Structure 1
């Protein structure tokens, strides 16, 4: 059973290490154009200067653990841009720390838990996420949990290899989730 626990600022250095094991294009996939490569703890502290893990800050940053019996962290995911007036938020900064952890269902389970937290604990009515069209594995994961493709913004980013990326916004409504959970 995958467990999401709120991250501590002291764990920013772990996230920085995971991101910097990859190239600048990976960082853009993970965080959009928020940061300059290589990622630093200082950049993360500045980005989260209002704090984390409260409704007031509008962001909950979670560390992903494969089970409650182990302290081993295998990734990170956040629920951010929480708007209690519209009851919407965005899932992002979703990453498994190692390629060998991908493709085994841990990421899907973490996403399902983040969605559950959003709808049940935070009282959201809609959850969104953004994904680049070149990230087919992530798109399959998101669809497998029940997210639906929506708005596509074209020519959002050009990779270091000259490949143009488009952004796909995906959404899930609480009613759909309640009716279909566990069916995807």
Structure 2
């Protein structure tokens, strides 16, 4: 199945809210860190993105992942925290919301498309992300695309089941991305 990325509209926050709220607080934290309180609401998202989205002034671009056959929104991800002095940014809030599309390569395709945007349209030299050590499927996806593990911060979150989660900072440099031929 083919996918495409399109800029998300704030009016579509409700779709993401529904995906997140189908799970629990731990799922919300895995998706957004400690930014929001469960259950997620559109009001929380609008407050967080007070400067809006999809502009240089907002410092965040949120993309919806679209199934090209059905034109259905099946996920979303963002690129944000642009650092002009180091020419880098951070990928985050990555979700394949429709469960039937998970573990099918859609996430890899979506991230490849976002990397292309970051390295070509935004002319970044490095793209970073944060991932909890418990999210092994995501870590494998990121490593397949060339991301390297950087700093590990241990025990940053205690799950509702009492498990400690640590955070990996991962990064991908443009020259590695180009040499790995990750261009979609």
The secondary structure found in structure 2 opposite 1:56 is coil
Alpha carbon RMSD of aligned pairs, Å?
Answer: 1.2
1:39-78 paired onto structure 2 within 5 Å: 39-67=40-68, 69-78=69-78
| Number of equivalenced pairs | 182
Structure 1, unaligned runs of 5 or more: none
- Partners of 1:112 and 1:182 lie apart in 2 by 7
Deviations 1:121-151 (A, max 9, x none): 0111100000000000111111111111110
1:105-144 paired onto structure 2 within 5 Å: 105-144=105-144
Partner of 1:181: 181
- Partners of 2:181 and 2:23 lie apart in 1 by 34
Contact 2:112 2:182 in 1 (8 A): no
- Partners of 2:116 and 2:71 lie apart in 1 by 22
Contact 2:158 2:164 in 1 (8 A): yes
Partner of 1:27: 28
Q: TM-score, normalised by structure 2?
A: 0.96
Contact 1:66 1:106 in 2 (8 A): no
- Partners of 2:181 and 2:53 lie apart in 1 by 28
The secondary structure found in structure 2 opposite 1:75 is strand
- Partners of 2:22 and 2:168 lie apart in 1 by 25
The structure 1 segments of at least 4 consecutive aligned residues displaced by more than 3 Å after TM superposition are none
- Partners of 1:146 and 1:95 lie apart in 2 by 20
Task: Say which is worse superposed, 52-61 or 6-15, in terms of deviation.
Answer: 52-61
- Partners of 2:173 and 2:124 lie apart in 1 by 9
Contact 1:58 1:83 in 2 (8 A): no
The yes-or-no answer on 1:14 pairing with 2:31 is no
The secondary structure found in structure 1 opposite 2:30 is helix
- Cα drift, residue 86 of structure 1: 1.7
Structure 2, unaligned runs of 5 or more: none
